[in-house]
Structures are given as structure tokens and as C-alpha cells.
A and B are shown apart, each in its own frame.
Chain A
């Protein structure tokens, strides 16, 4: 059966969402970044892109390129909410909706013609309604698979529809540059450029044995991409609940003592949430982002004895931190994420002396929580 896949792509999603909140910034070059001179740009809008500003650029460099940029503190929580909201909205059209990235959605509308009308009409309606409900404009691609609909959306302006009819995939892709293909990364593109293969059509024209002489096992995949063949289904993601506390340090920090203090604060915050929702975590993930952008993380199980109190919880997190904090570079961000949340279930011990200390810790934590609940979170804290 011929499938019908719609791809909606909101260009510069985060910046666009931010513009919705602050319409006065619409025409100005807008940049999303945390405050501080050494910040790195996390999102840009169209006018800023025109000035040569890109994601990942240090803020001071962007300032040098364009003096009048507006810097807005990025609010990823809000963007994620918006993203989920759009996925929910799109669910009205089809049960198969995939939010593959910020501002990027695949909707499988195969077999809905009788119910909702012709596919191109439906795709246009989706875009229109998205615009009406959220104010965001999207590029729309419609084709028989995810690959081609994505390329189709890429070829047009926001608000337009790129519709590729079944059977014309190959001729549509043929004149486009190879780096338009999702799945052809920098490495493959530069290898292709080495043979002066710049258009997808060139690639598609080679017989498989010739291509595999050079590309080996990946030749087959490459050829299928170039011919617009893709059988990947639209994948509906389900997110497991987790508690995550991320913190960007005020200043890049390398002193282990201060880093530990910052981490402890995060663990406390997460612990508070856990106890508030009456959950106990099965594992945690700790992520360190260094000042030069290098990311390291580790995942560990949480031993059951430690979940009762912040201090014991921290004791089980600390070795993980010491294990991954190895480089002589300052740390910019710490993320601690607790997952596999379950309802606490503990058996009372037969021998009371066995876990006397943990019980003591639990009581202490209970007292602390009680004070905080009554008088506010900041009223009592551990001494450094």
C-alpha cells in the first residue's frame, strides 16, 4: 500500500516560540543564550542567521558580528512543553505522530482519505491549523516515506507545501545536492565531494557493484537513500517519567569542593521532588558538560539503602562524579537525572540494629522536610 507521510518543520523552532512570547522581537536578530559573557548560543532566528550567527557560537563572537542582537535567556522547559503540545494537537489527525526533534514532526495519514480528504489538502490544513492555534509557520512535505517528505519540506519556504507524488521520488531528488539527504553526514558528504559527486542524481545512477567498490557495505544504504527509498515507520515515542535537575553554574568552576557543593544542592532538590511524589529511583544518570563543550555522562544504579535521605543519596552519586570529572577543564553544567521511579517498598528488618544509621538518617531527613514544608525551602540547610 502506498503510504502518505506528512512532515512539518518549523524553522528555528526555539527562537520562533520565543518570538511568540515577545512579538516585539520579531524583526530583530534574536539569539537564545544563557546570560554571562562566556555563554554559547543555543538558538537563533532568521534575521540573526542572516548576520552569520549560528548555534554553538560563543556569545561574544556573535556580538562582534552584530552589535544589535537581542539576547534572550533560553527556557527549554517552555520549548519542550510547546513541542509536546503540538504533538498532542497533531494527534487529532492521526494516531501516528512522531515528534522527531524540536519543531520537526512526522504524521502518517495513510488511509485517511475517506475520512479527512485528499492528502495534499489535509497537509495544508494541518499547517494552517497549526498556524492558527500556535502562531507558528511550518514547511510541509508530503510523500510516500519519511525521507522524501523531509527533503520535500526542506526545499520550500515556511507556509508552503512540497508534495512529491508516488513514483516521482527519484526524479525529484536527482538535481538536489547530496547533503540534502538526511543520513548523509559530513563524513560521507566530504567523501562524495572527493569524487566530485555533488548531486543526488549522480549517486543514484551508479550500479551497486561499482559503488560498493568504494563505499563498501554502506553503498546499499546510500543508493537507497539516493533513490528515495525508505521504509522506516512513523514512530510514536513514549517517555518514561523521570526527575531531572540541570544546573548551569554561575561561573565555570574547577574547584572540586565548590562543584561538590553544587551537586549536593541538585541532589537535594531532586530528593525533595522524589519524596514529594512518593517515588524512589532505581537508577540515575549524571552528566557533566565542560566549558569547552565536551560532554561526559555515566549511568548507575541507586542502591536501595540510600534512597531515604539526601545525604545518603549524595553518597551514592559522588563516586560517579569523581569517576567522570577527570579533565583539567572547568565545568559549566551539571545534570542529575533519576529514572526508573517506583513506589517505595521496604521490608522492615528483623534485626533493628542492622540499619540503625539509615533509620537515623531517615528521621533526620523527615525532620528537615517537615521544617521546610512549614517554613519554606531555604529555612534550613546543611553547613558546608
Chain B
């Protein structure tokens, strides 16, 4: 039976903020309506093309590729008749996004048999006629008769489409909601032009034919066009980057580079190295990765500090090229995990750079490779729980404060069935229209909203990126492709991940500060402190706040419980710490502390010997599956992938095959179950060993710096920001480490924190509200003409660069205390205010001819300690002169964190200032929370189980002192508090209670 109609103008939700449905649901609906072909033509892009092709293949629809290109003047649906047509459409879209003076008639090539253009704009079609196959688009609606008449008049064939924006009639309200959010309007104020017509859904052929009783030709044309267009296959060839160099034989170049580096890395070669190198090079060249390695090596050579990670760290070649710094031979890292003859998908190398060097590096690369060859991967930013609730509530005109009340109660990742069941919504009335808002917000989730630059994925192609995928300019001003990383990978684009990492900047800054302060030079590339006893000691104790990757509370607890400081165990720890692996962590710790164990199965004994019989790395899954079920490497790797993607449909199939394989090898059923249980603990989170080893090395480098050069290190940690903890938590940690934290000083402070010897000086950047230009002018002036001697001199020298507000901030923070002579802070503030008033009032004083009379300052009493504290909060963002706990009004005696270990098994009361918190779900799906507190003696971990959590969660925040009552429990010598009761403690505004001061 020949089809009666084909939809040629369909928008999925990748037509950002216009379409409503995913390509998957559109394909499903089309199939249900009896179509066998479908075009998805998203607005100005191929954003969801790969997903569409995949969905089409899964549902048995023949996909037609095209896009609707819209400019401010006109619009047209452009369909690709051939694969060449695809490239042309991609180019047109690229030009639409990148050229300022793009216009539609001029955007088309001179003459092309590879395209079909459908547009409701007769002028556009008239100008294209003869060059490109044209049709006049007729959408059922108020203008359809008029357009039919025009089509007859200008003799361009009409074609019927429904300009589909949603799959079913019921999705129209959602479309209107999206439009209201996009246009920043309310549902009531949306105008006719803002939205599609209510009838623009995926109508069946019958329903379409009813709309065109007098023009069956328009329907037939749609079928004809569909037949003329090619069907894009759901397969893409792999596109490798090309390393262009005068030397044509790139393999020889790679071999040469590696050989030279053996001396640098190992001193001299040996047969083991030679054998491994030969194996790797053979595989690399067979798989076509030669140029890829050369390019990555070229990129990393441009910056001194970097860290290659991911499975690429298993390669000797990348170690020799300086991409990674972990020796794969010493640490027994398997190359197969990276490249394998059986591996079908594309491996990638991830390289971290200091976060502040990345943008400069990108600019350098763009200049070197040319901007047509290089582009960034994008992110499709969608609505998240909070975001969607906020947006919908805005459409309903809810005031901002009330929206915040509701969204602050939502957890970050999901609206949780409207949030009504979460304990934080107790006593929060969800009166109308809130239930409606939550329902709609839930429907918005997973709809992409806009695209942004991915944090580091880059594709480099041999010719032009826009041949493969449309390119556009991101808000940051860089060229990005329209696919996010999954679609880019499926489309065969080999990507290089260049990510920003704050710890590398911390290490760089600390190394530099050490050199400046002590004259000791540490060379980053060869810096290998894994054997340093002091670094090992702090790692084994879990004193690792600020240390890369080992600083989270869970990690510190694990380190402390294990009590090991060696590299191999640290590698295990950084991989085993997964949300779903709690049971295995316990088992691991028991075995580590000497509990005898037997491997689950004799064949696993050797594989899991190093990790106490517990699956730790991704490779362990692969190798266990090979050993137990007789899988090939490729099969096992597919199993690993299925496991690591949560809720994947392939998982059930993999499980069945795994069980069958095990049965064949006569593995007992209970063993199979236990192993599978361990497999599933990898869901969502897992690392391969090379990755863990790379990161563990960075951890040791930062641990070394923390142990040997604490001031320089902590200053770098705080200045670079972005650690796991707040600045105040790091300040407290610095004090626990015996460092003295000094107030900012106009002559001593730099922009960031600075650490020398036993002191940590607060930098100007920490001062809240101080303008960046002001601090830069200040530093510049100080460097040029020397230190400042008095406040008036400072104001004079920085005239017009320092505003009144800036000067007040400096004074309140105490930065001017050293140059104020006999003045106290209120009098300094008076002086500043008067100085600025005078300058504003009388221009005479602006000339230097007359020296202005000195400002007369009345005697003013100095600020009290609580006033100073308030100023610290205001200017520094944290208290410095007193700890908030010192101001707590307490009536009952409490136990200090340092003596907590003496009370194991007893119920005690403690006082704590919140440091960090992490909300998790129990296996039954109830909310609970891990909370880290500190007191004057140290830091301690607590847990709120579901009942106390439900009771106290509304009272817990990060800015109050809490009295905690609960049971001290100990595991492997580490004490934690299980909280039964928490109470917010009022603080005494009159200053610290006597006897509590340090």
C-alpha cells in the first residue's frame, strides 16, 4: 500500500523551547499513526539528529534528515535528498549561526540537486526556483486557502505539512508553557505569533487529508518528496583527527618520539619495556590512533602542568609522550582497557589542566589548528527540578521569595513526585496553584532548554567540522558543535577531553610559592612523592582536607578506617568509594584488618588478589566475566558498559547471558548471584585502575605539599576556590594545622591568600564587595611607588580608582589598621567618609595647588568585639576573631570532638558548627543525611538516620551552631556520632563567654 501522507515538517524538543516531544516519542507516535517515514526538522539545527536516527531504527521508521532554518525575515524547511545534501544543510545551518549578515536566499549554493526546500514564503521560493527543487508549504489554518491560490499563481507546487510542534493534542498546553517561559510572558499574555496553532500535532494521514479536501495534490507531493529523499543510515564512519606535519610518516614520528623518551622516563631500556612498547604501537597503528596520540602529545607539551587520566593512563606510549605521569609497568596497568582489538567504541584520553590556564590553551589550539577544523562539544542544558519549578512558578506569577521558599526544599536532582512526601515540606502549605506547578514542572524535566559549552571536549577533524555537524557560537564566544558528548561519540567523532582542574592550579601555585619563599624548586613532571613518609602519614590518618580527591568526608573516614598510607591502597580507595558499594567497603576493611577470606571462585583468586577478593575497578568486572562466564573481551566490555549506565535496557540481557555462561563453566548459582551483586554496585560510578592511579598520584603530590609546606599549600587551596569545603572550613583546618591566620593588610596582602612559614595572610580577593579594578589599581600603585604610610596618602594616591564603598570595606576588614597611626576603626571610617565628601563637594581641593586642611575627627569609641565580628562576616564572609562556637550560649556540658573517642557506646551531647552535608537515600528510599561538624578541638562526622532527619531537617542549615545529642559509634577505630536530637543554639551577641576562648 502506498502511503497517503508523510510528515516533512516536524519539531522535536530539540527545537529549543518550541517543540515538546523527544525524537523517540515522535517516532513511536508516528509508527502508531501508521507512518513508515518521518522527517524531523528542528529549528536551526541537528541538535537531536543522532538520537532521531537511533529511535527511527528502533521503531522501524525510515528517517529523513532536514532542518527548519529560520531567520528574522523568513524561514524554510530544507531536506537532504542525498548524503551530499546532508553536508550542505549542515553548512547552511553553520552559516546561519556564525555569519552576522546571513540571509536565506543567499545562504543556498548556486545550484544543487541534493536539496529540497519547503517554505511558506513565495518570495523566497521565487528567488530559488530553477536552482533548487522548491515547494510552497501549506499548513492547515487561516492562511491555507490564500497560500494555495498563490501557489497556483506563481506555479510552484504546493506541499501539505502540519508544522508539527507536539505529538498529541494534549501536549498543546505544555507547548504554550514552554513558549511563555521562553518569551518571559504569562500564559495570558502570550500573543498569537508566540505559539503554534492548537492543531499542529502529529496528525494521521486520514486527519491530514480531511484538511485538504480540495487539494489532494499537496498531500501527494509530500509523499513524492519523501520518496526522493535518502534514508540516513544509523551508522557513522569514525572521524579521526589528523596531525599535519611535514614528516609524512606519522608512525615513524611516533616511534621516534617514544624511543627518545625512554631515556627520560626510565634511564635505559629493558626487554620488558621494549616488548610492551612494540605491542602498543602495533595496536595503535592498526586502530588508526597514531595521529590522535601525536595531537594529544602536541597539546600537553604546550603547558607545564597537566594530568592525563582515564583509560589512556594505562598506556606506556602516553607515559613516554608525557601525557600521563603514572608508570604503567610498575603499577601493572593493562593496556587492553584502553585499546583492544575487540573494542568497537572509541576510547578517549582525558587530560586535566589547571582551571585558569584552559581558556588560554584553547585559544592557542584554535589558532594552531584553524577554527574550521576544531570545535567544542556542547552540553544540552535541560530543566532540572529546581529550575523547572522556578520557571513554571514564574509563569504563574508567584513572587520570587515564595518560589525560593519552595525550591529550597527540593533536592537538586529531582522534583520527587512533586516534593510533597519529602520531610522538608512538612508545615509548608502547598495550596493552589502549587500542585499544578509541580505537575507541570515534572513534565518539563528532560526537555533541553539551550546549549552551552561542554567543560572540555574538543573535536579536531581533518577537513571541516561543519561537514559532519552544524557549528554555532556559544554564549562564551567559542565554536561549538550541536551535539553533546553521547551523540558526538555515536556519530563517530573522536573527542579529546581537556578539562579544568583546580587542584593542578593549587599544586602549581604552591610550588611557585615554595620556590619564592624557600628557594626550593620542585619539578612537576618528575615530582613523585608516593614514598614520602610525611605525605603517607597524613593520608593514613585521613587528615586530608584540601588534598585532591581524598578530602570528602566519606573518603577521609575510609582513609582513617583503613589506616594505610601507601600508594596501592590509595588507588583502591579512590575507586572503591561508590554510593552503592557500602557493604563491600566494610568487607574490604575487615579483610584489610586481617579477617581471613576466600575468593568467591578459584578462578577469581588471581584477578582479585590485590584487592582482597573484592571487585574494585572496571577491569575487574571485565576480567571476572571473562573468567567465570567465558566471555570474550568484547562481550565482557559490553557488560561493563551496560552496568555502568543506570537502568539500561541491555542489562537484563547481559545478566541472562552471564548466568548461562557461568552455568556452562559449572560455577555454583550462589557464587553467580554474589558476583552479580558486586557487579551492580558499579552502577553509575566506577573507575578503571589507570584513572584511579593517575588521580592518586595527584593526591600524593598535594598531600606532600600539605605535609611539608602547609602555609603555601593552604593558601593555594583557598585562593583557587572550588574545593569540597567552604573557605571558613579551610581556615579552621589551617588553624588546626598550627597556622596563624592574619587579617588582610594594605601593604602585605596580595590578591590571593599568601602563606609563608607558619602564617596565612588573607588576600584582597577574599574581601566581599571590593571591586576587582580597585584591588588591581591598589596592587599596581603599591608595586610602582612603594608601600602606603597613611590613610590620607592612600586615598590621595588612589584618587578616582578607589570608591568610598571600597575604602569602607578595606577599613572594616582591618586592612588599614597598620597605617592608621593612633586612629581606631570608627575614626578611620570617619576620616574616609569626610575625605570623600570633601572631594565631591569642593573641586578646589582637586588641584594640588592648595593642600587641603586636615580632616578633624571627633573622638569615637572603638568597636566592641561583637561589632568587629559583624564586620568580619560582612567583609570577609566568615568570622576570624572568634569562632561562632565561642559565642554559643550553652547550659549543658558538652564533649569536645578530640575526646569523642573515649565515649564509644555512650550517649553524649556535643556542640558543632556545620562544615558540610550530604543527603542520601536509604535502600528503602527514605532520606537521611551525613553531616560534618567542627568544634574548637577538631572535626567530627555525624549521621542523621531517616527519623531524626525528618524531624530536624528543616532546622538544619550551614550558618548556626547546633547542640547534638546522640550515640558515639566506632568502626575500625574511627568514632562517629549517630544523632538522635539536634537543637539550634542561640549565639550571644555580647561576645564570647569567658573561659571558652582559645
User: Does the CB pair A291–B398 fall under 8 Å?
Assistant: yes
Complex CA gap A128/B399 in Å reads 46
Give the chain A neighbours of B188 by CB distance below 8 A: 254-257
Q: Does B340 contact A (CB under 8 A)?
A: no
In the complex, besides A195-B827, A196-B867, A328-B185, 8 extra interface pairs with C-beta distance below 8 angstroms are A38-B431, A210-B856, A214-B833, A216-B837, A216-B841, A256-B189, A328-B184, A328-B394
In the assembled complex, A378 has its CB within 8 A of some CB on chain B: no
Minimum CB distance partner of A325 in chain B = B189
Known: A60-B428, A214-B837. A206 touches B858 (CB 8 A): yes
Given A210-B858, A254-B188, CB of A329 within 8 Å of CB of B397: yes
Which residues of B from 382 to 419 have beta carbons under 8 Å from A?
Answer: 394-402
B895 at the interface (CB under 8 A from A): no
A-B contact list, 5 entries, CB within 8 Å: A251-B433, A255-B188, A256-B186, A328-B185, A330-B396
Q: Is the CB of B829 within 8 A of A195?
A: yes
Residues of A within 8 A of B838 (CB): 213
**Residue of A196, A205, A213 touching B855 (CB-CB under 8 A):** A213
CB neighbours (8 Å) of B396 from chain A are: 254, 330
**Pair A195/B826 contact, Cβ less than 8 Å:** yes
CA A290 – CA B401 in complex, angstroms? 12
- B596 part of interface (Cβ distance < 8 Å): no
Among A37, A196, A214, contact of B863 (Cβ-Cβ < 8 Å): A196
- Flag if B186 contacts A197 (CB, 8 Å): no
Residues of B345-398 at the interface with A, using a CB-CB cut-off of 8 Å, are 394-398
Q: Is A292 part of the contact surface with B, judged by Cβ < 8 Å? A: yes
Residues of A within 8 A of B186 (CB): 254-256, 328
Docked-complex contact A37 and B431, CB < 8 angstroms? yes
Contact across chains for B399 and A290 when beta carbons are under 8 A apart: yes
The reply to whether B400 and A292 contact each other, CB–CB distance below 8 Å, is yes
Q: CA of A3 to CA of B530 in the docked complex: distance in angstroms? A: 88
* B860 interface neighbour in A195, A253, A328, Cβ under 8 Å: A195
Bound complex: CA of A64 vs CA of B186, how far in Å?
A: 32
| A-B interface, 7 closest residue pairs, ranked by CB to CB distance from nearest | A292-B399, A330-B397, A254-B397, A196-B826, A213-B834, A255-B188, A37-B429
Answer whether residue B605 sits at the interface, using C-beta atoms and an 8 A cutoff.
no
Distance from B126 Cβ to chain A, minimum over Cβ atoms (Å): 41
- CB <8 Å contact, A291 and B826: no
Asked if B399 and A60 sit within 8 Å, CB to CB, the answer is no
Q: Please tell me if the beta carbons of B829 and A252 are within 8 angstroms of each other in the complex.
A: no
With both chains docked as a complex, state the minimum distance between the C-beta of A174 and any C-beta of chain B, in angstroms. Answer: 15
Number of contacting residues on A, CB 8 A?
Answer: 33
Give complex CA distance A36, B397 in Å.
17
In the complex, what's the smallest C-beta–C-beta distance from A123 to chain B, in angstroms? 37
What is the chain A residue whose CB lies nearest that of B826? A196
A196's contact among B395, B432, B860, by CB below 8 Å, is which? B860
User: Bound state CA distance, A257 and B867, in angstroms?
Assistant: 53
Contact with A along B837-849 (1 / 0, CB 8 A): 1100100000000
C-alpha spacing A197/B830, complex, angstroms:
11
- Taking CB atoms and an 8 Å cut-off, the chain A residues in 178-221 that contact chain B are 194-197, 202, 205-206, 209-210, 213-214, 216
Q: Does B104 contact A (CB under 8 A)?
A: no
B808 at the interface (CB under 8 A from A): yes
List of A residues within 8 angstroms of B427 by Cβ: 60, 63-64
Query: Which of A194, A257, A291, A293 makes the CB contact (< 8 A) with B808?
Result: A194
Q: Which B residues form the contact surface with A (CB < 8 A)?
A: 184-189, 394-402, 427-429, 431-433, 808, 826-827, 829-830, 833-834, 837-838, 841, 855-858, 860-863, 867
How many whole Å from A59's CB to the nearest CB in chain B?
Answer: 9
Given contacts A206-B858, A210-B858, A257-B188, contact A329 B432 (CB under 8 A): no
Q: How far is the CA of A210 from the CA of B860 in the complex (A)?
A: 13
Given A254-B397, A255-B187, also A196-B856 (CB < 8 A): no
Judging by beta carbons under 8 Å apart, are A214 and B184 in contact?
Answer: no
Q: Quick check: B397 and A196 within 8 Å, CB to CB?
A: no
Query: Interface code A260-294, partner B: CB below 8 Å = 1, 0 otherwise?
Result: 00000000000000000000000000000011110
CA distance in complex: A45, B827 (Å): 42
State in angstroms the CA–CA spacing of A202 and B305 once bound together.
60
Q: With a CB–CB cut-off of 8 A, which chain B residues contact A331?
A: 397
Contact status A329-B184, CB under 8 Å: no
Shortest C-beta distance, B441 to chain A (Å), equals: 17
Chain A residues, Cβ within 8 Å of B400: 292, 329
Closest to B954 in A: A64
Query: In the assembled complex, which residues on chain B have CB atoms less than 8 Å from the CB atom of A256?
Result: 186, 188-189
User: What distance in Å separates the Cβ of A119 from its nearest Cβ neighbour in chain B?
Assistant: 37
Residue of B whose beta carbon sits closest to that of A59:
B429
Q: How far is the CA of A182 from the CA of B857 in the complex (A)?
A: 26
B856 — nearest CB in chain A belongs to which residue? Answer: A210
CA distance A150 to B838 in the complex (A): 35
The residues of A that contact B428 with a CB separation of less than 8 Å are 60
A205 and B394 CA atoms in complex are apart in Å by 52
When the two chains form their complex, are residues A196 and B861 in contact, meaning their CB atoms are under 8 A apart? yes
Chain A 308-347 interface mask (CB, 8 Å, partner B; 1/0): 0000000000000000000011110000000000000000
* B826 close to A194 (CB less than 8 A): yes
Is B432 a contact partner of A251 (Cβ separation < 8 A)?
yes
A213 to B860, CA, bound (A): 15
Q: CB-CB < 8 A to B829: which residues of A?
A: 194-195
In angstroms, Cα B184 to Cα A258, docked, is 20
In Å, the complex CA distance between A329 and B399 comes to 6
Q: Write out the residue numbers on chain A whose beta carbons fall within 8 Å of the beta carbon of B830.
A: 195, 214
Measured CB to CB, the nearest residue on chain B to A216 is B837
Hey, which chain A residues are within 8 Å of B863, CB to CB? 196
Closest to A332 in B: B399
CA A205 to CA B860, docked complex, whole Å:
11
Q: A127 to chain B: closest CB distance in Å?
A: 35
Please give, as numbers and ranges, the residues of chain B lying within 8 Å of A255 by CB-CB distance: 186-188
- Complex: A197 Cα to B857 Cα, angstroms: 13
CB-nearest residue of chain B relative to A258? B188
Q: Can you name the residue of chain B whose Cβ is closest to the Cβ of A251?
A: B432
Q: Which residues of B contact A36 (CB under 8 A)?
A: 431
B398 touches A252 (CB 8 A): yes
Name the B residues within 8 Å of A37 (CB-CB).
Answer: 429, 431
Are A252 and B826 CB-contacts (below 8 A) given A38-B431, A60-B428?
A: no
Contacts of B395 in A (CB 8 A): 328
Interchain nearest-CB distance for A52 vs B (Å) = 12
| Chain A residue nearest in CB terms to B396 | A254
Binary interface encoding of chain A residues 10-46 relative to chain B, with 1 for a CB under 8 A from any of its CBs, else 0: 0000000000000000000000000011100000000
**Would you give the shortest CB distance from B651 to chain A, in whole angstroms?**
45
Instruction: Compute how far the CA of A293 lies from the CA of B833 in the bound complex, rounded to whole angstroms.
Output: 34
Residues of A within 8 A of B858 (CB): 205-206, 210
Q: Chain A residues with Cβ under 8 A from B855's Cβ?
A: 213
- Residue contact B398 to A214, C-beta cutoff 8 Å: no
In the complex, A256→B191 CA distance in Å? 13
Instruction: Say whether A197 contacts B860, CB under 8 Å.
Output: yes
Contacts of A328 in B (CB 8 A): 184-186, 394-395, 397
**Smallest CB–CB gap between B844 and chain A, Å?**
15
Give every chain B residue within 8 A of A252 (Cβ-Cβ).
397-398
A129 CA to B188 CA, complexed, in Å: 57
